[in-house]
Amino acid sequence: MGWSRLETRTGAAGLATGDYVWFAHSFACDHGPHSLATADYGRLIPAAVRRENVLGAQFHPERSSAAGARFLKAFLES
């Protein structure tokens, strides 16, 4: 729970490496080929994923300042 720094891939839905986002839970799915951004919690967990027309986040965009706003904008524009 708390702020975590991201590592991102190209085209990461408005997110950038070094952005901090807010996680408010302890659940995490496994990192895989559809991860756009990851956070390190002793293991890499996906912060944002995309597969075909589905875009999702494990962090809380509404609580994640400018990075969250960029993610939501990219979501709405996709």
Count of the separate structural domains present in the chain: 1
Which two structure tokens, joined as six digits, stand for 24? 């408010």
Residue 78 pLDDT > 90: no
> Can you tell me which residue has the tokens 């996709």?
78
The helix (run of H) or strand (run of E) holding residue 66 is helix 65-77
Q: Which domain holds residue 14?
A: 2-77
Interval 26-45: pLDDT, tens: 778 888 999 999 999 889 99
Q: What share of residues in the chain are helix, strand, coil (percent, to 5)?
A: 20, 35, 40
Residue 64's CATH number: 3.40.50.880
Whole-prediction pTM value?
0.88
SS3 for 35?
Answer: strand
Mean pLDDT for 52-76 is 94
